[in-house]
A and B are shown apart, each in its own frame.
Chain A
Amino acid sequence: MKQKVVVIGAGIIGTSVAYFLSKKNVNIVLVDAKDIASGTSGACDKAIMLQSKKWGPALELAIQSATLYKDLEQELQQDLEYRQGGGLILIDNEQDLKVLQQTVEKQNSIGLNVKILTGDEVRKKNPYLSEKIIAASWCEEDAEINPMLTAFAFAKAAHKNKAILRLNCEVLDLVTENNRILGVQTTHGKIYADSVVICSGVWTNQILKTVQLEVPIIPRKGIILVTEKLPKIIDCNILSGSYIVSKLQKEQNSIPYGIGLAISQTKSGTLLIGGSREFVGFDESIKTKIIRDIAKQAIHAFPCLDNIHLIRSFAGFRPYTPDNMPILGEIPSVQGLYIAAGHEGDGVALAPITGKLMSELITNQKIEFDLSPFSIERFLESTIS
Chain B
Amino acid sequence: MENQNHEKEISFTFNGKRIKGIEGQPIAAALMANGIRAIRTCTVTGEPRGIYCGIGHCYECRATVNQKRNIRTCLKCLEENMDIKSE
Contacts and interface: CB of A to CB of B under 8 A. Distances in A.
A–B contact at 8 Å CB threshold (below): yes
Query: Closest 6 CB pairs between A and B?
Result: A228-B70, A309-B70, A229-B43, A307-B68, A228-B69, A269-B43
Contacts of A308: 69
9 contacts: A228-B69, A228-B70, A229-B43, A268-B43, A269-B43, A307-B68, A308-B69, A309-B69, A309-B70
Interface string A300-319: 00000001110000000000
Contacts of B68: 307
Contacts of B70: 228, 309
Interface of A: 228-229, 268-269, 307-309
Interface of B: 43, 68-70
> Looking at B43, B68, B69, which has the most chain A CB atoms within 10 Å of its CB?
B69
Nearest to B67: A307
B82 to A, nearest CB: 17
Nearest to A309: B70
A229 B69 CA distance: 10
Contacts of A307: 68
Contacts of A268: 43
Nearest to A228: B70
A228 B70 CA distance: 8
A313 B28 CA distance: 29
A308 B68 CA distance: 8
B57 to A, nearest CB: 13
A229 B62 CA distance: 12
Nearest to A308: B69
A297 B68 CA distance: 22
A307 B69 CA distance: 9
Contacts of A309: 69-70
B34 to A, nearest CB: 27
B31 to A, nearest CB: 21
A247 B68 CA distance: 38
Contacts of A269: 43
Contacts of B43: 229, 268-269
Contacts of B69: 228, 308-309
A269 B43 CA distance: 10
A309 B43 CA distance: 18
Given A268-B43, A269-B43, A307-B68, 6 more contacts: A228-B69, A228-B70, A229-B43, A308-B69, A309-B69, A309-B70
Nearest to B68: A307
A76 to B, nearest CB: 24
B72 to A, nearest CB: 11
A210 B84 CA distance: 63
A6 B22 CA distance: 68
A28 to B, nearest CB: 36
A269 B68 CA distance: 17
Nearest to A227: B70
Nearest to B70: A228
B74 to A, nearest CB: 16
B38 to A, nearest CB: 19
Contacts of A229: 43
Nearest to B87: A229
Contacts of A228: 69-70
